[in-house]
Chains A and B, each alone.
Chain A
Amino acid sequence: MAATATSLPIAEHAHPDPVHLKRVGLWLFFFSESILFGLFLSARFFLEGIEAEHLDQALGLGITIVLLLSSVTAYTAETAIEHDRRGIAIWGLIGTILLGLVFAAGVGVEWSTAEFSRHEAFGTVFFSMTGLHASHVVSGIVLLVLALIQLLRGRFNSKDHWPISGVVMYWHFVDVVWVFYYPALYLVQGV
């Protein structure tokens, strides 16, 4: 039972690819966040069923298209840096940040022109859901800016670009949340 050191196979500690590990960690964080978003989504139907107040449909559709397009530019940036195409990556990140700002501004316009108040039930769910989502968009923009600054200063290449991949994953996640929130707030209509 007491084996000697010489007869042993050479063993190593489990060393998973650190980027793979971080990717999994981020996915676990998304699982957790989905429950938070899901509970606010459930609260919308629990309190208001499928009732809805009047919302600016053109504006809603517009910011949704903008947010979906921003995922395309984010994906472009990530793919570009994987192939060492720095110029495209920089413009991809800048485009994502600009589209994100347009989305946040659109939510701001929607908030200031809304015909209902936050003190009533539909206002409560509308402002809290869009606010929760917009706070994630804003934090995503901050992270994108941090990644862009480092990219402009010459960091990141096809071998080392986890911060860009991470923030792009986060951006896609925030985008997917809106794919559920947009119909729940804008398209559901009581008959």
Chain B
Amino acid sequence: MYALISIASGVASGLIGFYVGVGLTALVRVAFGHSPWDAQISITVGYIFGLVGWLMGIGMWGAWGREWFGLPTYARKAPGWQRYFVFNSDHKVIGIQYLVTFVVVFLLAGLLAMVMRAELAQAGNQFLSNDQYNAVMGLHGILMIAVAVAAVIGGIGNYAVPLMIGAQDMAFPRLNALTYWLNPPVALLLLLTPALGGLETGWTAYPPLSVLTENAQLLFNLAIITFGLTSILGGLNFIATIIFLRAPGMTWGRLPIFVWSMFVASWLALLFTQGFAAALLMVLLDRAFGMSFFNAEAGGDPLLYQHVFWFYSHPAVYIMVVPGFGLALELITHFSRKPLFAYKYAVGGLLGILGLSGLVWAHHMFTSGMPNYLHGPFLALTEAISIPTGLIFLSALGTLFMGRLWLKTPMLFAMAVIFNFALGGVTGIFLADVPTDIHLHDTYFVVAHFHYTIVGGEIFALFGAIYYYFPKMTGRMYNETLGKLHFWWMFLGFNVTFFLMHWPGILGMNRRIADYPSSLEGVNLIISIAAFALGASFLVFVYNMVVSWVRGPVAEANPWRARTLEWQTSSPPPIENFPAPPVVRGHPYEYGVPGAVHAIVPTPMPGGAPAGGAK
């Protein structure tokens, strides 16, 4: 009932806002002697009003908006599962909201990939027209980008970071709730794009096509500018939280490595996301007002878009993969039962990526016609980024070396991250080098490369983290056998699919195109079959998660005997996280070091683990 009221009032005031916005636009336009409706301007203004209406209706008005007018605030109370459907500022609720939302989006976007592979199983057009293929491909791309940006940072980050640093909540809890509730309109707009002509430009939205194409592009621009706002506000919140809310004694040198990776990714999101917003805003201005940012005839330049867009979208891959690295290192050290090898160098590696990531964007543009003198510097800077990445790899390998590996499902996923990203990193060298890139640009080699880095590097870490934190989030244990089955099924399906994809890429098979030469049929059929197997592996995951959440065995507070702070409280944690504030005394990862203590939590919960964790 509470959930229904909350969602219904959000939708209702969102709709009212939309029509108010459209009406106001019509009034102003008529007053200036134009026709009352202009698709670009009316939809944009209506969307802005509707977005504000939706936020206020979902509960932001009561929890926050009233304060701006000097009125007392109140929060909607909702018991049990219904707390996930109201404007709830508890970081643990928001983390689970993000995680469930984006796992669902991941599965939807995965289905779209299945459609693409079915079409590509044979040469020629099977059951999709070229336009339909473009729409499916564009939607798959942008939904997966959203998953990669938000699932780990919004889901795992929101849930784990305040617990890991011993805080009660994020620095700005209401801003955190606002950040989550901006996401449903984004999903709605993106899912509406096929009704307005489909995304013809793919997720990169290059002009001039994005200026000239159907109005689906308009919805895309509005959705992604909103999504960028969630990314920026989320990053801002994490930075303030990590700087100011660490428990007493939690110095920068004792910060868990995942928190460090979140700190780096948050700075990247805060600073660079504006590039995507600016690029799409320019497209919007060209579309709505006939401006000439990208119209070469009137003095504009389409290359401007590529510079501004990649200024965000290359750092974006580090927003995606850096928290994945953090999770992989975190899991590897817990499940190797050894201190994290070269902690300081791993942190240095993360900071090195932060420093270099803004200086490499034009390696996406070697074939775009930008001035030749830019090729050398961007080649060298791009290759330089393998040095900090290498530090992170060495830290992972050094931790595994001579460790007492405990091969639970989360550990298998973390080790797969190292394996997959090694392949993704090596193929990256060929794409950073100008001579090889000119041949490989825009082929399936690129597709294979970025799936190896983002899916192999981040999505595997995400699933490892979901299994790792499942007992913490739900208080129940997942089925280990099914977890391992999911891992091996997904790992093999993923590697067969994307390893084979390098081959048609080297032979010149273009990405983003529904058809290919019939000589490439054999390998594409095998890729499609492997991709279907990869897709089917998630059925095991969904079954395991749903059944275990409902009636899995009750988990201990600390089933992994981990030493970091999030495991020193009950599972699931109480609303204030810790019964009393923890005091940090030493490093988080001193497994097997006699007498080492990470933190003291004054009054352990009944059934909780001893403070500092068992060895």
Interface residues of A (CB under 8 A from B): 1-3, 5, 8-9, 11-14, 16, 21-22, 24-25, 28-29, 31-33, 35-36, 39-40, 42-43, 46-48, 118-124, 127-128, 146, 149-150, 153, 155, 163
Partner of A47, one of B246, B278, B290, B300: B300
Also in contact, A25 and B171, with CB within 8 A (given A13-B247, A153-B70): yes
Also in contact, A16 and B248, with CB within 8 A (given A1-B595, A11-B581, A43-B304): no
Are B300 and A124 in touch, CB under 8 angstroms?
yes
Q: Is B259 an interface residue (CB 8 A)?
A: no
Partner of B270, one of A8, A28, A127: A28
Taking each of A3, A29, A122, A127, which has the highest tally of chain B beta carbons within 10 Å of its own beta carbon?
A3
Q: Write out the residue numbers on chain A whose beta carbons fall within 8 Å of the beta carbon of B70.
A: 149-150, 153, 155
Interface residue ranges of B555-586 to A (CB < 8 Å)? 580-583
Q: Write out the residue numbers on chain A whose beta carbons fall within 8 Å of the beta carbon of B168.
A: 13
Q: Is B393 an interface residue (CB 8 A)?
A: no
A-B pairs under 8 A by CB, number = 137
Partner of B307, one of A31, A46, A153: A46
24 contacts between A and B (CB under 8 A): A1-B610, A2-B611, A5-B603, A11-B580, A11-B582, A13-B247, A14-B247, A21-B172, A21-B244, A25-B175, A31-B271, A32-B236, A35-B272, A36-B274, A39-B308, A43-B308, A46-B301, A119-B298, A120-B298, A121-B298, A127-B291, A128-B293, A146-B68, A149-B70
Per the bound structure, the CA–CA distance linking A77 and B271 in Å amounts to 31
Q: Write out the residue numbers on chain B whose beta carbons fall within 8 Å of the beta carbon of A33.
A: 274
CB distance from A141 to the nearest CB of B (A): 14
Interface of A is mostly: helix
Q: How many residues of B contact A (CB 8 A)?
A: 55
Per the bound structure, the CA–CA distance linking A120 and B272 in Å amounts to 28
Q: Write out the residue numbers on chain B whose beta carbons fall within 8 Å of the beta carbon of A120.
A: 292, 298-299
Also in contact, A39 and B274, with CB within 8 A (given A3-B600, A11-B602, A48-B299): yes
Per the bound structure, the CA–CA distance linking A89 and B286 in Å amounts to 43
Are B291 and A119 in touch, CB under 8 angstroms?
yes
Closest to B244 in A: A16
Are A14 and B236 in touch, CB under 8 angstroms?
no
Complex interface bits, B273-290 against A, C-beta within 8 A gives 1, otherwise 0: 111011000100100011
Closest to A43 in B: B304
Q: Is B612 an interface residue (CB 8 A)?
A: yes
Q: Write out the residue numbers on chain A whose beta carbons fall within 8 Å of the beta carbon of B275.
A: 35, 39
Sample of 12 more A-B contacts, CB < 8 Å, known A13-B581, A46-B307: A3-B611, A8-B583, A11-B581, A13-B166, A13-B245, A24-B244, A25-B171, A39-B275, A39-B278, A123-B291, A124-B300, A150-B69
Per the bound structure, the CA–CA distance linking A150 and B246 in Å amounts to 34
Per the bound structure, the CA–CA distance linking A5 and B611 in Å amounts to 11
Closest to A35 in B: B274
Per the bound structure, the CA–CA distance linking A149 and B71 in Å amounts to 12
Partner of A1, one of B69, B289, B298, B597: B597
Are B293 and A118 in touch, CB under 8 angstroms?
no
CB distance from A36 to the nearest CB of B (A): 4
Per the bound structure, the CA–CA distance linking A3 and B240 in Å amounts to 32
Also in contact, A14 and B612, with CB within 8 A (given A32-B274, A48-B299, A122-B299): no
Are A28 and B239 in touch, CB under 8 angstroms?
yes
Are B68 and A28 in touch, CB under 8 angstroms?
no
Q: Is B534 an interface residue (CB 8 A)?
A: no
Also in contact, A25 and B278, with CB within 8 A (given A5-B603, A12-B248, A146-B68): no
Complex interface bits, B235-273 against A, C-beta within 8 A gives 1, otherwise 0: 011011001111110000000000000000000001111
Partner of B240, one of A21, A121, A124: A21
Interface residue ranges of B154-202 to A (CB < 8 Å)? 166-168, 171-172, 175
CB distance from A10 to the nearest CB of B (A): 9
Partner of A128, one of B69, B246, B282: B282
Q: Is B411 an interface residue (CB 8 A)?
A: no
Partner of A11, one of B291, B307, B583: B583
Are A32 and B583 in touch, CB under 8 angstroms?
no
CB distance from A26 to the nearest CB of B (A): 9
Closest to B595 in A: A1
Q: Write out the residue numbers on chain B whose beta carbons fall within 8 Å of the beta carbon of A146.
A: 68-69
CB distance from A95 to the nearest CB of B (A): 22
Q: Write out the residue numbers on chain B whose beta carbons fall within 8 Å of the beta carbon of A1.
A: 595, 597, 610-612
Closest to B278 in A: A39
Are A8 and B602 in touch, CB under 8 angstroms?
yes
Q: Write out the residue numbers on chain A whose beta carbons fall within 8 Å of the beta carbon of B274.
A: 32-33, 35-36, 39
Also in contact, A9 and B301, with CB within 8 A (given A35-B272, A39-B311): no
Per the bound structure, the CA–CA distance linking A169 and B162 in Å amounts to 28
Q: Write out the residue numbers on chain B whose beta carbons fall within 8 Å of the beta carbon of A39.
A: 274-275, 278, 308, 311
Closest to A48 in B: B299
Q: Is B232 an interface residue (CB 8 A)?
A: yes
CB distance from A71 to the nearest CB of B (A): 23
Interface residue ranges of B298-342 to A (CB < 8 Å)? 298-301, 304, 307-308, 311
Per the bound structure, the CA–CA distance linking A122 and B291 in Å amounts to 10
Also in contact, A47 and B244, with CB within 8 A (given A5-B602, A21-B171): no
Q: Write out the residue numbers on chain B whose beta carbons fall within 8 Å of the beta carbon of A8.
A: 583, 600, 602
Q: Write out the residue numbers on chain B whose beta carbons fall within 8 Å of the beta carbon of A3.
A: 600, 611
Closest to A122 in B: B299
Per the bound structure, the CA–CA distance linking A22 and B248 in Å amounts to 21
Are A32 and B271 in touch, CB under 8 angstroms?
yes
Q: Write out the residue numbers on chain B whose beta carbons fall within 8 Å of the beta carbon of A119.
A: 290-292, 298
Complex interface bits, B405-426 against A, C-beta within 8 A gives 1, otherwise 0: 0000000000000000000000
Q: Write out the residue numbers on chain A whose beta carbons fall within 8 Å of the beta carbon of B600.
A: 3, 8
Closest to B293 in A: A124
Are A28 and B236 in touch, CB under 8 angstroms?
yes
Per the bound structure, the CA–CA distance linking A121 and B243 in Å amounts to 43
Q: Write out the residue numbers on chain B whose beta carbons fall within 8 Å of the beta carbon of A25.
A: 171-172, 175, 236-237, 240
CB distance from A11 to the nearest CB of B (A): 5
Per the bound structure, the CA–CA distance linking A33 and B271 in Å amounts to 8
Are B299 and A47 in touch, CB under 8 angstroms?
yes
Are A14 and B69 in touch, CB under 8 angstroms?
no
Per the bound structure, the CA–CA distance linking A8 and B604 in Å amounts to 13
Are A14 and B244 in touch, CB under 8 angstroms?
yes
Per the bound structure, the CA–CA distance linking A22 and B236 in Å amounts to 11
Q: Write out the residue numbers on chain A whose beta carbons fall within 8 Å of the beta carbon of B166.
A: 13
Are A13 and B167 in touch, CB under 8 angstroms?
yes
Are A11 and B611 in touch, CB under 8 angstroms?
no
Are B273 and A32 in touch, CB under 8 angstroms?
yes
Q: Write out the residue numbers on chain B whose beta carbons fall within 8 Å of the beta carbon of A155.
A: 70
Also in contact, A124 and B244, with CB within 8 A (given A11-B581, A25-B236): no
Q: Write out the residue numbers on chain B whose beta carbons fall within 8 Å of the beta carbon of A14.
A: 167, 244-248
